Structure 1
Amino acid sequence: MAERTRQRTLITTLTSQERLSDRVAHALRAALISGELRPGEVHSAPGLAARFGVSATPVREAMLELAREGLVEPVRNKGFRITEVSERDLDQYAELRALIEVPTIGAVTASADRRRLEELRPVAEEIVTRAREHDLIGYLDADRRFHLSLLALSGNDRLVETVGDLRKHSRLYGLTALDERGLLVPSAEEHIELLDLMLAGDAAAAEACMARHLGHVRSLWARSRQETGPGRR
């Protein structure tokens, strides 16, 4: 009986710890998106723990999760550095995404079951809702799910994995600035436009919409970085 009680207590503790590290990771992502944590800065787990009012363990776990996402990188004996991405890097990532995603969208439009496409409408609408609610974390999550789910209809798992990695490396900076200028909602609405074209079976128009959307997003982010300055990418 004592052993069972000990096991239940351990499970409860671990579950609680996991939830705490998830909350810390969520808060860290928000700080990265807003520019509160800036590229190139090095932060220690104890320092961030004091900032969040928690122990260092959940912070360290959260930072390791962000490292797997490419948002930070470990620095020996110091902590974690917020990764930097140059304009050249972003251009190359955007070019790769266009080379992969645009023709794939055309192929999916021609071959996918319309019912499976329609199942993605709630996600496309969620992107717009999140943008209107200024929920930046929710916006990015819905955007990721929509794009990767569309690509998954191609049946190529490695393609989806590759684009997922490109998205992590080319994460969007200056989201707060775009939101404040009212540019996020029009970009979000392009997802519904894309889905409608795919449902209509117009592969050429869907490809053109996808190319325009990726180029639009890249230009918006470039403009945002110029306006916010190098310190708040």
Structure 2
Amino acid sequence: MGPSGGVTRSTLRQQIADALRDEVLAGRLPPGREFTVKQIAVQYGVSATPVREALFDLSAQGLLASDQHRGFQVREFSVADYRAMTEARALVVEGLFRDPAARVAVRPDSLASIRRRAAEAVRAAKGGDLDVLIGYDLRFWRELGQFVLNPYIADFLTKLRVQAWMFAVHRLRGENGEGADGSALWDGHEELVEAIARGDHEQVHATLHSYYAHALAWADRLEAQGR
């Protein structure tokens, strides 16, 4: 576990939180890994205060568990947790599309950027490039979340997607630790963004339904395999 670059004093708290989140999502900080504020502070060569704040931020996001005696631990999520995350996301999105005109406002000027994220995510999914996929997938959904008029809903969905990737990353790795189980990688990003661009709410809803059904089917397979 090492920093990927220098950390400036002006944004220490956020930079440390972002760096540790990236380590978790890349699988370099596995579930159950324990560490203390002091260890992270020494690693990054900074004082304890911004590290403590960053770790509490990640704990609030559900990525870490904290214990006043043992420090912090990377959260472990079960298949049941993953299924619950997926169902929660599906229920929230279902609610958004009961009255999309009142809850969702698409900004056409943002679609070009989202299309680029979608294309990169699909390319990574089809190539089994998990590290690239996670980054583009999270950016894709985060940018789509800007269309949701209720910011609390958008933040909630982002939080669940990060947690879902935390659960998935180790289970998707191939035996060599680099490849990914391609059958579990959803690649409908471009289909979704084009339906949004057309204003085709029925197709948007159908694509999202397929997305969540895909995730739940993978959870069923994992459960059957005892993983």
TM-score by length of 2: 0.70
What are the Cα deviations for residues 132-187 of structure 1, in whole angstroms up to 9, with x where unaligned?
A: 4844663254134134224x1xx344433443454455444343746833849x73
What's the secondary structure of 1:180's corresponding residue?
coil
* CA distance, structure 1, for counterparts of residue 133 and residue 194 of structure 2: 24
* Partners of 2:114 and 2:193 within 8 A in 1: no
Q: Counterpart of 2:206 in structure 1: which amino acid?
A: A
* Partners of 1:117 and 1:195 within 8 A in 2: no
* CA distance, structure 2, for counterparts of residue 48 and residue 99 of structure 1: 38
What are the Cα deviations for residues 168-221 of structure 1, in whole angstroms up to 9, with x where unaligned?
A: 55444343746833849x73x522211212333332222110111223345557
Unmatched 5+ residue regions in structure 1?
1-14
Q: Which residue of 1 aligns with 2:111?
A: 120
Aligned length in residues: 210
* CA distance, structure 2, for counterparts of residue 141 and residue 70 of structure 1: 16
What are the Cα deviations for residues 12-34 of structure 1, in whole angstroms up to 9, with x where unaligned?
A: xxx94243343332321122112
Matched, 1:216 2:214: yes
Q: Which residue of 1 aligns with 2:19?
A: 27
Unmatched 5+ residue regions in structure 2?
1-6
Q: Which residue of 2 aligns with 1:62?
A: 54
* CA distance, structure 2, for counterparts of residue 34 and residue 225 of structure 1: 23
* Partners of 2:78 and 2:167 within 8 A in 1: no
* Partners of 2:196 and 2:204 within 8 A in 1: yes
* Partners of 2:142 and 2:158 within 8 A in 1: no
- Cα RMSD, aligned residues only: 3.8
Q: Counterpart of 2:209 in structure 1: which amino acid?
A: A
Bigger helix share: 1
Q: Counterpart of 2:145 in structure 1: which amino acid?
A: L
1:225–1:81 Cα change, 3 Å: farther
Q: Which residue of 2 aligns with 1:5?
A: none
* Partners of 1:34 and 1:174 within 8 A in 2: no
Give percent identity, aligned residues only. Answer: 25
Q: Which residue of 1 aligns with 2:3?
A: none
Question: What's the CA shift for 1:117?
Answer: 4.5
Which among 136, 140, 145 is matched to residue 143 of structure 1? Answer: 140
Choose 1 or 2 for highest CA Rg: 1
* Partners of 1:39 and 1:82 within 8 A in 2: yes
TM-score by length of 1: 0.68
Q: Which residue of 1 aligns with 2:33?
A: 41
- If asked which structure has higher relative contact order (CA below 8 Å, sep 6+), I would say 1
